[in-house]
Copies of this chain bind each other. A is one copy, B any other.
Amino acid sequence: MNKESKTIRDPIHGDIKLEGLFLDLIDAPEIQRLYDIKQLGFAHLVFPGAHHTRLEHSLGTYYMAFQAGEKLNLDKNEKEIVACAAMLHDIGHGPFSHTLEFILRETIGIDHIDLTEKLIFGEHAIFDPKEKEFIGSPNVFDILNKYAIDQKEIIRLIRGKTNKKPYLSQLLNSSIDVDQLDYLVRDAYYTGVAYGMIDIERFLQTLIINKNKLAVRKKGVGVVENILMARTLMYSSVYFHKTVRIAELMLSKAIEIISDKEPFKFFKMTDAELINELKKMGSFQHEIVTRLKYRTLFKQAYTINESNLDKKSVNLVKRLENIKLRREKEQEFEESLNIPTGHIIIDVPFQELHQAEPRINQTNIIIVDEKETKTLDDYTPVAKAIRLRPIPDWVVMIITDEKYRDIVAKRAEKLLYR
């Protein structure tokens, strides 16, 4: 059996060829684990095709980084390191991808990039000691050593902090990075929501390096507008779909109320391992896991939308953005209405959206014309408009068990504003 190269069929990019470093990396336990992390958390509860995983997204990002490297005429080493960072950029992702990110950051202060870093530096093992015997491949740290890849540089690229060659980092971390391109097109494919369909070839054609930074040729203005639009529409209709959001809030709550959470413990699990772990915990966790399995979700009892936001509610939202005050308010509801713990969740999504996707505010891309360099806003008013466009359309939402919905709905105003 020839182990020199391997071709994997990806429904998005077609055949992806792997050799050397990349052929080794794909077998590493940190990458293989991504087979069990759904790319879009609970989106399949609304879009039944959305079971795709971080593994294929990692592969796709690797592929696109490599293609972009070719188009930009990067040298062999640059191409290798950016493609390597692309393949590894998500290995620290916890179960259900972004679902638990916010709650774990709030409660134990770490996020998936912290775990990614630990894994790349070999300071942490992704697997259980009992599993080790049956893992046929070295881990990522050892593979990088074998190929003399500088782990620190990989982390700098992933964190968007390379000083020497900003364009390399921007290929993975900017408004026009390949990570985003891959996930938009991939999520569009598996959800069946066409918004994310972007002309990848055309995009790659327009990339250019300008004064060490990643930029876009003037003929690419349309492609970039298209990408920004695709992203905002995918956020509205898929990533912040209300039902998907409710499922995510439920799981987050089940985790949140666990006391003394060990750092990284939850991050390291696969989707299925987390569900199984929760099932064995307290009765609330068992309830939530069963509800998610059979799609018996909490219902929306009260909502303030962008369009009916007044001065009074603006102040309320400001207060509720503080997670501590929000949790206190939830408790108030539970106590006043005699609702068991965990069955009232108040969602104030704005902050979380912007932490999950900071690129949403970065639309000011460098545009290179024959002689001059401007920014996207000089060519089109659309980019700015997209930045100002609200996602999602609710600013506060209260969800609860169906049987409490009516009482919560009736008393919400009063309780919220007291």
Contact = CB atoms under 8 A, between A and B. Distances in A.
Interface of A: 7-12, 14-15, 27, 29, 32-33, 35-36, 38, 44-45, 47-49, 51-53, 55-56, 59, 127, 130-131, 133-137, 189-195, 197-199, 201-202, 205, 222, 225-226, 229, 232-233, 236-237, 270-273, 275-276, 286-287, 290-291, 293-296, 307, 374, 378-382, 384-386, 388-390, 402
A269 to B, nearest CB: 12
A191 B294 contact: no
10 pairs of A and B residues whose beta carbons are closest in the complex: A385-B385, A272-B272, A11-B192, A136-B296, A51-B51, A134-B290, A381-B385, A48-B56, A194-B199, A11-B49
A409 to B, nearest CB: 12
A15 B134 contact: no
Nearest to A204: B15
Given A137-B294, A382-B389, A385-B385, 7 more contacts: A29-B294, A51-B51, A131-B293, A133-B290, A134-B294, A137-B296, A193-B202
A134 B291 contact: yes
Contact of A307 (B287, B296, B379): B379
B225 A233 contact: yes
Contact of A189 (B11, B56, B205, B291): B11
A53 B56 contact: no
Given A134-B287, A229-B226, A127 B32 contact: no
Given A131-B290, A134-B287, A197-B197, A15 B202 contact: yes
A225 B228 CA distance: 12
Contacts of A232: 382
B48 A293 contact: no
A287 B131 CA distance: 8
A275 B272 CA distance: 9
A47 B276 CA distance: 26
B52 A56 contact: no
Contact of A290 (B27, B135, B202): B135
Tell me how many chains of this kind the complex includes.
Answer: 4
Select the residue from A52, A53, A191 with max chain B CB neighbours within 10 A: A52
A193 B189 contact: no
A12 B286 CA distance: 34
A402 B1 CA distance: 12
A316 to B, nearest CB: 22
Nearest to A34: B48
Contact of A286 (B7, B52, B130, B385): B130
B381 A388 contact: yes
A48 B44 contact: no
14 contacts: A9-B47, A9-B192, A11-B189, A15-B201, A27-B295, A35-B44, A38-B51, A48-B59, A130-B286, A131-B294, A135-B294, A136-B402, A225-B229, A276-B276
A47 B202 CA distance: 14
Contact of A381 (B190, B222, B378, B389): B389
A295 B59 CA distance: 16
Nearest to A236: B222
A206 B389 CA distance: 20
Contacts of A56: 48-49
A90 to B, nearest CB: 14
B32 A293 contact: yes
A52 B53 contact: no
Contacts of A52: 49, 51
A255 to B, nearest CB: 18
A58 to B, nearest CB: 10
B11 A190 contact: yes
Contacts of A290: 130-131, 133-135
A194 B200 CA distance: 10
A6 to B, nearest CB: 10
Nearest to A132: B290
Contacts of A33: 293-294
In this complex, the member of A14, A131, A270 whose beta carbon has the largest number of chain B beta carbons within 10 angstroms is A131
